[in-house]
Structure 1
Amino acid sequence: MGTQQVLSNQESLRLQYALRHRAQELGWRDADIEVIDADLGRSGATSTWREGFKDLIARVTLGEVGIILSYEVTRLARNCSDWYPLLDLCGYRRCLIGDRDGVYDPGTANGRLLLGLKGTISEVELHTLRGRLTAGLLSKAERGELVQGLPMGLVRDTHGTVMKHPDREVQERISLVFAEFLDLGSAGKVLRCFRDRGLTLPRLDRFGEVVWRTPTDGMIAGVLKNPAYAGAFVYGRTRSCETTYASGKPVTGRCPMSEWKVIVKDRYPAYIGWAEFERIQAMLRDNHAEYSRNQTRGVPRDGAALLQGSVWCGLCGHKMTVQYKGCSRYVCNFLVRSTG
């Protein structure tokens, strides 16, 4: 269950701890009963971070468990890839499984059939709940009513209405980023322009207060690529990739504009028009394509340098490029590009 459920649904929590009395009614001595509650607040969709479930599996494997009691057997796992191995272990080790409906023996055909059906229904139920939540969320997003975090320069009043930041200097600095980009045609040139003029960009600290920071290429690009500045509510700008982090969380990547799920225009007060925003995105794509063609490693190319694409800067740790001007040399441009 989620953390909010643990805090608010106390009746369910009491029923789970009451299983000790259920075990006593079945004839188990109090000294032989142990409550495993390490997984409170964790979803049963996967066993990756469920230390209590892993501990239970280990004890069943060693033959230390005679019966597993749960408020509902579906609470043990909502994933058949975790559920059926547990049934196999319990059947092999003669360990019973019980809930409020009865006690089952996974070592018998009838017991395994009933537990298998419960496990399958539990997994389907999880997908059904997710589907309902996702459908409701998409419906709200299609109306532009889904509450999202706003970028710097846009705020909500006490009634929830989105408006521009009341500080005129914040408004003018964000507008200047767009004006300079349309004039200069490059995020790097905008960065150098801000640095040369000693200009900073507004940011929000962790307390929600406006602070002024020295701009970086990421900050400039974040302003230029955010459709909220064009007055549009957008949902589905990212998608999960096939790869995952070590924690098991899927890696997310940005989708091209043509694949954004929901776009509701004229939802917020705009700093630029939608046509200008599309023009800026096209310019950024062209600039990025040129950068990728010239500075990623790719296939070996002609040139006297032997270590092209293989040399990394010892100071900042980023890949160095090859420069041919009278001789071959390796140059690190990361700090110039990112911070000017």
Structure 2
Amino acid sequence: MMSDLIKTQHLCRKAVIYIRQSTPHQMVNNQESLRLQYALHQRAGDLGWDDNDIELIDADLGQSGAAAAHRAGFKDLLARVTLGEVGIVLSYEVTRLARNCSDWYPLLDLCGYRQCLIGDRDGVYDPGSANGRLLLGLKGTISEVELHTLRGRLTAGLLSKAERGELALLLPAGLERDANGIVMKDPNQEVRDRIALIFSAFWELGTVGKVNRSLRDRALTVPRRNRFGDIVWRVPTAGMLAGILKNPAYAGAFVYGRTQSCRARYASGKIISRRQPMAEWKIVVKDRYPAYLDWERYERIQTMLSDNHAEYRRNQTRGAPRDGAAVLQGIVWCGRCGHKMVITHPFDAARCVVTRRRCPGTAGEPCRSC
């Protein structure tokens, strides 16, 4: 069916059909939606375009429409409209083009400036006219609100399941989920013993570094899950051991909300995750998994790990105790600036001295104490 908005100047240019599915799962399971989108080729022919002037852009299959930064097909479409090559942009519905008004309205401005039409299953619109822009703007706004509604509905269901401790999160090495969804300890005795050894060694030695050296001296490896979920044995590192000691699943607790996602201050707007302190964890369901240690001991280990991190200025933590002849090793702080003092061993006696900064009120001299 022809539209009164389609002129000769539009037919002299290309008709571009933009095709997108949000996820790879939809590409496999929602075949009818994909078929309807590809069927727009016939719609373009009915509107008056020759087959040679109809082109498909399907590079964004499996990509979300929430943002345009990662969509090569959408960027290609914008470039071709900018060059004046496109007479009409066809999509099954506007949600295929964008679900974000910050991406949708620049497309409308560009199409209006280049006299490019936009069409969907409901009709053909001229974004350069007041009525066309109004209708397309409403469609874009509704599309964005719909995305937030869907996301809120999914998030509410996820949180409800998490509050019951039934959300199937990836389990760390040492815990397994059977075919019925019941969590149990790993049937491999060596895996269970190595996890238990890490906790007992830290309880005895007091620092991650000492546990790491102890395992390396005995040529012992640590079980870890790879990206496929399989158990692999790795040479221990301090970060690896700290991750095990901080994981509440080993204390039998289901925890949701240990990290918080935030948008980094980069041009790309990359999403990063930051670990939250225990007091700010969203959901904690104790006694959900078989435990390698009780919750009280787990909390004590977290306190020890926090104290071992020497950040007196921010966290008021003392740092890990050190070996040596000095009695005050690792527990002395400057009374003026609150900075932790470092032990030096000159020829006559041990001495505490702040070596990396100047203490206020001492005429630029470093803090010293015998």
TM over 0.5: yes
Given the superposition, is the C-alpha separation of residues 74 and 226 from structure 1 closer, same or farther in structure 2, using an over 3 Å criterion?
Answer: same
Comparing 189-198 with 144-153, greater Cα deviation is found at 189-198
Alignment of structure 1 residues 134-283 onto 2, 5 Å: 134-205=155-226, 210-243=231-264, 248-283=269-304
Contact 1:48/1:248 (CA < 8 Å) preserved in 2? no
AA aligned opposite 1:277? Y
SS in 2 for 1:147: coil
One-letter identity of the residue aligned with 1:51 = A
Instruction: Note closer, same or farther for the CA distance 1:104–1:212 as it changes in structure 2 (3 Å cut).
Output: closer
**Are 2:285 and 1:285 aligned?**
no
SS at 2:86's partner residue?
coil
Cα deviations across residues 218-238 of structure 1 (Å, max 9, x unaligned)? 221121100000000001111
| 1:63–1:93 Cα contact (<8 Å) kept | yes
Tell me, yes or no, if the aligned pair for 1:244 and 1:250 is still in contact at 8 Å.
no
Distance (whole Å) between structure 2 residues aligned to residue 220 and residue 269 of structure 1:
20
CA distance in 1: counterparts of 2:104 and 2:242, whole angstroms: 46
CA drift at 1:211: 4.0
Alpha-carbon deviations, 1:118-140, whole Å to 9, x = none?
Answer: 00000111111111111111110
Aligned match for 1:10, one of 11, 25, 31: 31
Q: Within 2, Cα distance between the matches of 1:257 and 1:97? A: 51
CA contact (8 A) 1:6 1:41 kept: yes
Residue 49 of structure 1 aligns with which residue?
Answer: 70
- Tell me, yes or no, if the aligned pair for 1:188 and 1:217 is still in contact at 8 Å: yes
Structure having the higher helix fraction is: 1
Instruction: Decide which structure has the larger Cα Rg and report it.
Output: 2
For 1:294 and 1:281, how far apart are their aligned partners in 2? 14
Amino acid in structure 1 at the alignment position of 2:310: A
Cα pair 2:172 2:225 within 8 Å, conserved: no
Q: Deviations over 1:133-171 (max 9, x none)?
A: 111111100000000111111112222211111222322
Question: Could you say which structure has the greater relative contact order, defined with CA pairs below 8 angstroms and 6 or more residues apart?
Answer: 1
Alpha carbons of structure 1 residues 122 and 294: separation in structure 2 relative to 1, 3 Å: same
State the 1:202 CA deviation: 2.4
Distance 1:198 1:92, change over 3 A: closer
Deviation of 1:31 (Å)? 1.4
Match of 1:311 in 2: none
33, 51, 58: which one pairs with 2:54? 33
1:274 Cα deviation after fit: 0.5
Task: Report the CA distance shift for 1:24/1:290 in structure 2 as closer, same or farther (over 3 A).
Answer: closer
State which drifts further: 82-91 or 185-194.
185-194
Amino acid at match of 1:158: A
Find out whether 1:90 has 2:111 as its counterpart.
Answer: yes
In the alignment, the residues of structure 2 paired with residue 20 and residue 27 of structure 1 have an alpha-carbon distance, to the nearest angstrom, of 11
Aligned-residue offset at 1:197: 3.3
CA-CA distance at 1:242 after TM superposition: 3.5
Greater CA drift, 147-156 or 286-295: 286-295
Q: Residues of 2 paired with 1:207 and 1:76: CA distance? A: 33
Q: CA RMSD in A?
A: 2.5
Letter of the structure 1 residue corresponding to residue 243 of structure 2:
G
Corresponding residue for 1:59? 80
CA contact (8 A) 1:235 1:261 kept: yes
Counting matched residue pairs gives 304
Q: 5+ unaligned residues in a row in structure 1: which ranges?
A: 296-301, 303-321, 331-340
Change (3 A) 1:67 1:210: closer
CA distance in 2, matches of 1:207, 1:85: 40
**Would you say the 8 A contact 1:244–1:251 is kept in 2?**
no
Which ranges in structure 2 are unaligned for 5 or more consecutive residues? 1-21, 320-333, 335-341, 348-354, 356-370
How much does 1:102 deviate? Answer: 0.8
Indicate how the Cα distance of structure 1 residues 140 and 288 shifts in structure 2: closer, same or farther if over 3 A, else same.
Answer: same
What letter corresponds to residue 110 of structure 2 in structure 1?
A: L
Aligned to 1:115: 136
Q: Secondary structure at the match of 1:135?
A: helix
- Residues 185 and 103 of structure 1, relative CA distance in 2, 3 Å threshold: same
